[in-house]
Amino acid sequence: MKYNLVILPGDGIGPEVMQEGIKVLKRIEEIFSHKFELQYEKAGGAAIDSYGVPLPDQTLNSCKQADAVLKGPMGGPKWDQLENKLRPEAGILGLRKELGLFANLRPIKLYEPLKDASTLKPEVINGIDLLIVRELVSGIYFGEPRGIFGEGENKYGVNTEIYRTGEVSQVVRLSCELARARRKKLTSIDKFNVLESSRLWHDVAAEVSKNFQDVQFEHQIVDNAAMQLIRNPKQYDVLVTTNMFGDILSDEASMLTGSLGMLPSASLGGEVALYEPAGGAAPDIAGQNKANPLAMILSISMMLKYSFHLDRESLLIEQAVDKVLRQGFKTADLTNSKERSVSCIEMGDLITKEIVG
Residue whose CB is less far from ligand NAD, 204 or 291: 291
Give Cβ neighbours of residue 95 (< 8 Å, ≥ 6 apart). Answer: 43, 55, 59, 60, 63, 69, 71, 274
Closest CA to 18 of 96, 76, 92, 70: 70
Residue whose CB is less far from ligand NAD, 72 or 233: 72
Tell me which of 251, 322, 323, 349 is the catalytic residue: 251
Q: How far is the CB of 289 from ligand NAD (least distance, A)?
A: 11
**Does the annotation mark 284 as catalytic?**
no
From residue 78 to residue 117, the character string flagging contacts with ligand NAD as x (rule: CB under 6 A) and all else as - is -----------x--x-------------------------
Give the three-class secondary structure for 331: strand
Q: 257-316: which residues touch ligand NAD (CB under 6 A)?
A: 260-261, 276-277, 279-285, 291-292, 295
Tell me which of 247, 275, 290, 330 is the catalytic residue: 247
Closest CA to 180 of 134, 211, 136, 202: 211
Q: At what angle do helices 222-231 and 243-254 cross, to 10 degrees?
A: 10
**Out of 22, 74, 105, 355, the residue judged to bind ligand NAD by CB under 6 A:** 74
From residue 8 to residue 47, the character string flagging contacts with ligand NAD as x (rule: CB under 6 A) and all else as - is -----x---x------------------------------
DSSP state of 99: T
Residue whose CB is less far from ligand NAD, 77 or 328: 77
From residue 54 to residue 73, the character string flagging contacts with ligand NAD as x (rule: CB under 6 A) and all else as - is -------------------x
User: How far is Cα 111 from Cα 81, in angstroms, rounded to an integer?
Assistant: 39
Size of the site for ligand NAD (CB under 6 A): 23
Give Cβ neighbours of residue 224 (< 8 Å, ≥ 6 apart). Answer: none
User: Which strand (E) or helix (H) includes residue 201?
Assistant: helix 196-209
Q: How far are the Cα atoms of 100, 169, 207, 249 from residue 190, in angstroms, in the given order?
A: 22, 14, 15, 12
The residues carrying an active-site annotation are 141, 191, 223, 247, 251
Which parts of this chain interact with ligand NAD (CB under 6 A)?
13, 17, 73-76, 89, 92, 260-261, 276-277, 279-285, 291-292, 295, 333
